[in-house]
Structure 1
Amino acid sequence: MNTFKERYSMARAELKKELGLKSLEAVPRISRVSVSVGAGHAVGDPNYIEQVSRELALITGQKPIIRKAKKSIAGFKLREGTPVGLLVTLRGKRMYDFLNKLVNVALPRVRDFQGISAKSFDGHGNYTLGIGEHVVFPEVVLDNVEKTFGLSVVIGTTAQSDAVAKQLLEKLNFPFRDNDE
């Protein structure tokens, strides 16, 4: 069984041939993975941010940064400086480890999983994926979970178009839906 990094190297070599590029450096690559959690529940529960931070650190292997509100919004009972979310940006080995875990463990554990949508590219080669419950990751111990939360995963690539980025992710065994274009 190849590691994710080895599969990634082989996928880039195959993509170089398919795209007719002369240099391996010209082949698109994954530059970063950002994992974020919105903490709207944090307004009523001060321990929520700490719990989510611990579990996000377990999932990603890196301590998240706390994102705070820039402005006060009375309609949402939000004050400037109040924590509104958590963010982790992964690069290098942690990025490959997280992507391997996402593709091979977490996504297959999602209830009624039919594949990921091919419509979630942003027009610049970046892919956004939402995960409804964080409990699909193997590091999360269900006995310790008070509240479940969703994750937003953004996979940043150097591809100039969505089609090329999709080819790269397909070669890395991302399970795209067949009927979704």
Structure 2
Amino acid sequence: MANYIPRLKKVYNDTIAKELYKEFNYTTPMQIPAIKKIIVSMGVGEALTNKKLLDAAVTDLTQITGQKAVKTRAKKSIANFKLREGAEVGVMVTLRGATMYEFLDRLINVALPRVKDFRGIKATGFDGHGNFSFGITEQIIFPEIDFDKITKIAGMNITVVTSAKTDAEAKALLTKFNMPFRK
């Protein structure tokens, strides 16, 4: 397993990087944008009353990403939501390296086509610094999840952090990875 290279990383190194180098007229290969990390998170607000939902979310996210998910805590108290500072209200995972490329491959080629009435992802999720965020409403689009063992259908937020300086560069990078943006 030591010399294993994920399929998307090989595609990036062989074709995508060269295409971006020519397209944006970079002067050095270090300017070519790359994906740095992918952050997948799930908010589980109902975990305040039912702790089993949080454990189920950790299990689901661990199965989907292939990496152990961690519980996140509330940063501040909000009385209207009966939320106390430090209460566990979500789970998240930060993917880097080979795991990141494998997750991105499964997301683009397997999971997103399984979304009901899928017409593409809105390209409005860029933050101005080359990072792209979008949401998924159901975790059951991933084939790793056994539909019969789901306690509650939950959505997740996915953030793709790139080294691109502008949104145009980041969109070009993700488009070359076949990210299905809405036309």
Q: Report the AA paired with residue 64 of structure 2.
A: I
1:44 counterpart = 2:49? yes
- What is residue 138 of structure 1 aligned with on the other side? 143
- 1:121 corresponds, among 119, 123, 126, to 126
Equivalent position of 2:8 in the other structure = 4
Counterparts of 1:72 and 1:125 in 2: how far apart (Å)?
32
Aligned to 1:87, the other structure's residue is in SS state strand
Instruction: Measure the CA separation in 2 of the matches of 1:71 and 1:115.
Output: 35
Partner of 1:72: 77
Give the SS at the match of 1:47: helix
Deviations 1:86-124 (A, max 9, x none): 110000000000000000001000111001111110111
Question: 2:168 aligns to what?
Answer: 163
Return the TM-score normalized by structure 2.
Answer: 0.93
Please list every run of 5 or more consecutive structure 1 residues that lacks an aligned counterpart in the other structure. none
Alignment of 1:22-61 (within 5 A): 22-61=27-66
Q: Distance in 1 between matches of 2:130 and 2:93?
A: 20
Give the Å deviation of 1:22.
3.0
Amino acid at match of 2:165: Q
CA displacement 1:112-168 (0-9 Å, x = unmatched): 100111111011100001000000001000011111110100000011100110000
Identity of aligned residues (%): 47
1:148 & 1:36 partners in 2: Cα distance? Answer: 14
Q: For 1:83-98, list aligned pairs within 5 A.
A: 83-98=88-103
The number of residues matched between the two structures is 177
Runs of 4+ aligned residues of structure 1 deviating over 4 Å after TM superposition are: none
TM-score when normalising by structure 1: 0.94
- Measured in 2, the distance between the counterparts of 1:119 and 1:79 equals 32
Q: For 1:97 and 1:69, how far apart are their aligned partners in 2?
A: 30
Aligned partners of 1:162, 1:57: CA distance in 2, in Å? 30
Provide the aligned C-alpha RMSD in A.
1.1
SS in 1 for 2:19: helix
Runs of 5+ unmatched residues, structure 2: 1-5
